[in-house]
Structure 1
Amino acid sequence: VEHVIREENFLAAYEILELFCEFILVRVPIIETQ
C-alpha cells in the first residue's frame, strides 16, 4: 500500500512540475520583451 501512495505522490509532483515548467516557458518571453 505504501508503494502505491508513494507512486501517486510522485505522479502528482510530476504534474505540478510540468505545469510549473509550462508557466515558466510562457512567462520568460514576456519578461524579456519588457
Structure 2
Amino acid sequence: ALAIGTGYRVNEGFSARAGFALSGGDVSGGAGINYEW
C-alpha cells in the first residue's frame, strides 16, 4: 500500500487537504476544506 497526502493552511480559520492511496491496484482519493472558529 502507498498513501500520499498534503495540506495547506490558508489562514487562521481555513485549511485545505488532499490525499491519494494505492493498494492492490485500487486507487482512492479524497479532498476537503476545513473551517475553524
The TM-score bracket by the shorter chain reads: under 0.3
Relative to its length, the structure with more strand (as a share) is: 2
Give the TM-score taking structure 2 as reference length.
0.18
TM-score (norm 1): 0.18
More helix, by proportion: 1
